[in-house]
Structure 1
Amino acid sequence: MTSRANRSRNNRCATALLVATTLVLAACKAQAPTPQPEPATPQVTADTSAQPARSTDAPLPSEDASLAPAVTTPALPSAFVDKVWKVSKSGAVEPGTTYVFLADGTLVIDSPNGTPMHGRWSFDKGALVMVEEGISYPTEIIAIDDSQFHIRSHNPGEPVDIELVPAPDQPLPKP
C-alpha cells in the first residue's frame, strides 16, 4: 500500500506542480506590444470655397449626365461683370430689382420702387463679397451661366438667396 500511496501522492504533486507551472508561465507571459498608429500623413485637399455645396449622396456628374453642373467652377468675374442682372426670384429682394457689378468695383442695386444704391464688390480667390451701406456680405455664387446668376448673400440672420436673370434691355448705370 505504501507504494500505491506514494504513487498517488506523487501524481497529486505532479499535478499540483503542473498547475503551478502553468499559472506561473501564464502570469509571466509577456504582453504583446500595443500597436502604435502610423504617423498621420497630412491630407491635401482642393480649395472648394468658391464651389457650390454638393451632397455626397448624389452621383457625380460623370455618373449621370443630367446632373452636370450649371456653374463654371470657379466663376470668373467676367461672367457677371458689366452686365445688368434682374431679380427673378428671392425671399428678401423685390423681383425686378437690378444688380450691376461694374468693372471698377462699384455695385449698383436699383429697386423698381426706390432710388439706386451704390456699394462695392470684390472678387478674390473665387470669393465674392458685396458691400452695401458699408457692410460687407460674403456671397456664394450658386450657379452662373448666360441665362442665370444665382447668389447667396450671407447677411446677418438668414442667408438671402437671389436668383437673377440677364436684363439686356437695361442700360449699364454710370459709376
Structure 2
Amino acid sequence: MSRPVASKPWLAAGVAVLLMAGCATTRAQPLSAGAEQRPASFINKVWKVDASPTIQKGQLYVFLSEGTLVIAAGNGTPSLGTWRYQKGALTMVEESIAYPVDILELTADTFRIRVNNPGEPVEMTLIPADGVPLAE
C-alpha cells in the first residue's frame, strides 16, 4: 500500500521544488555580444533517469535557467547544486565539486550525458519525466 506524499516530507519538498520549476517565468539573461548560445532544450524541463549503470532509474534532474540544479530520488533527500554552459561546455556542480559533462545526445525526448567524475565517468540517459508518480 502506498503512503501519502505528506508522510514523506523529503518527497513533498522535492515535488514542491519541481512544481515551482515548472511554473517559473524567469527567463535566462541575454548573453553578451559574441557569447555562445547554450542549447535550450534541456533547460527548465524535468528529466528522469531512464538508463545508467550507476544512477538509480527514475532519479529526477532539473536544470533551471538561472543555474540551479535540482536532483531528487524517491528514496533520498532532494539536493541542490548548480550548472553552467560556457564556451560549449556543460559543468555540473554538486557539493561544491565541479564535474565536466559531455553531452552525448540531446533531442526533445532524450538527454544522454557522461559526467566526468574522478575515477570512472558516469553515463546516463535521461527522458522527460511526464507523469512521474508522486507516491510509490
TM-score higher than 0.5: yes
TM-score (norm 1): 0.53
Tell me, yes or no, if the aligned pair for 2:112 and 2:126 is still in contact at 8 Å: yes
Aligned-pair identity (%): 49
Gap runs ≥5 in structure 2: 1-35
Gap runs ≥5 in structure 1: 1-73, 171-175
Of structures 1 and 2, the one with the larger relative CO (CA 8 A, separation 6+) is: 2
Instruction: Determine which structure has the larger strand proportion and give its number.
Output: 2
Structure 1 moving runs of 4+ over 6 Å: none
Tell me, yes or no, if the aligned pair for 1:75 and 1:141 is still in contact at 8 Å: no
Query: Residue 66 of structure 2 aligns with which residue?
Result: 104
Bigger Rg, structure 1 or 2: 1
Tell me, yes or no, if the aligned pair for 1:152 and 1:159 is still in contact at 8 Å: yes
Which structure 2 residues correspond to residues 38-49 of structure 1 after superposition, within 5 A?
Answer: none
Matched, 1:157 2:129: no
Distance 1:84 1:135 in 2: 22
Distance 1:77 1:169 in 2: 24
Instruction: Determine which structure has the larger helix proportion and give its number.
Output: 1
The number of residue pairs the alignment matches comes to: 97
RMSD between superposed Cα atoms in Å:
1.6
TM-score (norm 2): 0.68
Q: 1:80 aligns with which of 42, 45, 55?
A: 42
